[in-house]
Amino acid sequence: MGYLNNAVITVDAILTTKGRELLAKNDGSFRITQFALADDEIDYTLYNPTHPSGSAYYGEAIENMPLLEAFPDQMQIMKYKLTTLPRGTAKLPVIDLGYAAITLKQGAQLAITPQTLNYLGNTQTFETSGYSATIGDVRLFSQFNGSGIQSDAALSQNATSTQTIGTSVSSTVIGTQINLTATTINTLFGSQTQLRTTLTVTGLDSGARLTIPVTITQNQTT
């Protein structure tokens, strides 16, 4: 990781680890259909409306901040996407999953219906385009899929969310409901009794994002 020279305009385009994974499949699952903008590096508390040199310098500290080079970890880059909200919005939308953390025993099932709070004047708590959900290690689940959205993007994304036995890879699905079934494969645990990963849910309309820990507990035999 490094810094870009902010004195010039630079377009630094790379594939994330997930993008490389989809490209390597060579099955058509790698398709760039949308883009987003984010401001992860920006500290807006540096905006200084009392700058002695006047209004042209209020944002000087922000404008001089270094920008990070693009890096391939999709779980760490572009966490704070830019979004358009109605004028006068006082609170940013936040994701509510009903869980601060998830713990499942082997073979246990769970259906999560995300909600978005502070969204559209509190008159609606779901997002029309649904939610993307990314599990950090899909090996920990025999089922991981999204339902409730029938768009081409959602159907294509959900079709690639297959279980992987060998390498630890992430998987992303789209829906208004996220369905999980914990793995029953004992060999994944090795000498451990628990396996841990994360679940990241992002509102596709609001840009709100939430990451929670997920723990799979091995069934003990006597």
Ordered domains of the chain (ranges, CATH): 1-82 (no CATH), 94-217 (2.60.40)
pLDDT at residue 125, rounded to an integer = 83
pLDDT of residue 152: 67
Q: For the chain, which residues score pLDDT lower than 50?
A: none
Residue 210: what pLDDT? 93
pLDDT tens for each residue of 80-104: 888 777 787 788 889 999 999 999 9
Can you give the pTM of this predicted structure?
Answer: 0.73
pLDDT at 222: 57
3-state secondary structure of 82: coil
Between CA 119 and CA 162 the distance in angstroms is 32
Question: Do the Cβ atoms of 210 and 200 come closer than 8 Å?
Answer: yes
Strand spans (E) along the chain:
3-4, 67-68, 94-96, 102-105, 109-112, 115-117, 131-135, 141-147, 171-175, 177-182, 194-203, 209-217
